[in-house]
Structure 1
Amino acid sequence: MAGQGSGGGPLRIRAVTEDDLSHVVRLDAAAFPADPYPFFVLRQLLTAFPEFLLVVEDSAKDLRGYVLATPPYDAQSWILSLGITPELRRQGLGRELMTRILALLRTKGTHSVWLSVEPGNDSAVALYRALGFVPEPQGPRLDYFGPGEHRLLMSLAL
């Protein structure tokens, strides 16, 4: 499925389970050390959207990446987060997770997918562009997530 982990073992993408919550919290903190989701937010997102939270698991059953989306509303969905542990970045896991979640969203009636990304995160912007996402023509939205927290909004027609 998703290749090999840093120890050479196989990786697989699967749906999240209730038992994964504490692992997803640790994974999110490793992927986004400056701004991880609070525990209670991940708890509520897992409860509300379990079908739309996919994880990458290695042979030791450790979680190495995840993608979280919203179910479609008026045929529109959002990618809320895509996180990969630092040591496994740039190995195709983000692309595989995105491909899987986009396929799932398509089967659920989604016609457009949106996401926000830090404008300076060149590797993420490049990944999203390679998947067909297009940035809003007006460029980054200043202070989108608060003072100094600019975001580039990108969309994909499915």
Structure 2
Amino acid sequence: MTAEPLERFLDRRARLAAAGPDEASPILRTARESDLPELRRLDREVFQEVAYPGFLFRQLYDMYAGHFLVLDDGTGTLRGYVLAGTSALDRDSWILGLCVAPDRRRHGLGRELMTEILVRLRRSGVERVRLTVEPGNSAAILLYRSLGFRPEGPHGGLRRDYFGPGMHRRVLRLDLTAAR
């Protein structure tokens, strides 16, 4: 997988402008190794006690760098990321993380990240994408459903104790081979 040229995203700057006129519009790009400290900071800020440990972020980057996208505000501060882990054999992928800084939410940045990662996954030949979401996170569930994700399995995709006792998740799935 080759990195997309940055110029491909410059025309999206107006849509990515989510804050006031004094703030820079973030640029959507592939993550770089030098982003790892900032990615860990952002992940801890957003996910707190369930944030990825630093060593795992490093390994996920090493394994899935081509499907690790960030929103860069141009000052070295990252405002969001999406990470997809893909298996080569059965053409499946999992969204392992979608993160938008709290002060930049509700402006379409999560949708922009998800839309771009789905384009890249489809182009890579991925057939199915799955993700998990906290059952009470209605904003995220609405976003994923609007992108075509549907519950996988019985009970609306609810899997009790998925991440351990009391850590329930909904599993959602999107078939990329279906006509859209």
TM-score range, shorter chain: over 0.9
How many residue pairs are counted as aligned between the two chains? 158
1:59-99 Cα distance to aligned partner (Å, 9 max, x none): 32310000000124311111001001111111100000000
Tell me by how many angstroms 1:137 deviates. Answer: 4.2
2-structure distance, mates of 1:156, 1:5: 27
1:152 maps to which residue? 170
1:15 maps to which residue? 30
1-structure distance, mates of 2:49, 2:111: 23
Larger of the two Rg values belongs to structure: 2
Task: Give 3-state SS (helix, strand or coil) of 1:60's partner.
Answer: coil
1:70 maps to which residue? 85
Matches within 5 A, 1:19-38: 19-38=34-53
Aligned sequence identity (%): 46
Q: Structure 1: any 5+ residue segments left out of the alignment?
A: none
Which residue identity does 1:136 align to in structure 2? Answer: E
Determine if the alignment matches structure 1 residue 130 to structure 2 residue 141: no
Q: Retained in 1: the 8 A contact 2:18–2:107?
A: no
Tell me by how many angstroms 1:36 deviates. Answer: 0.4
1:12-48 Cα distance to aligned partner (Å, 9 max, x none): 1000111000000001111211310000000100111
TM-score (ref. length: structure 2): 0.84
Q: Structure 2: any 5+ residue segments left out of the alignment?
A: 1-11
1:92 maps to which residue? 108
2-structure distance, mates of 1:111, 1:12: 27
TM-score (ref. length: structure 1): 0.95
- Structure 1 segments, 4+ long, off by >6 Å, are none
Q: Retained in 2: the 8 A contact 1:133–1:155?
A: yes
Give 1:118's match in structure 2, choosing from 134, 143, 153. Answer: 134
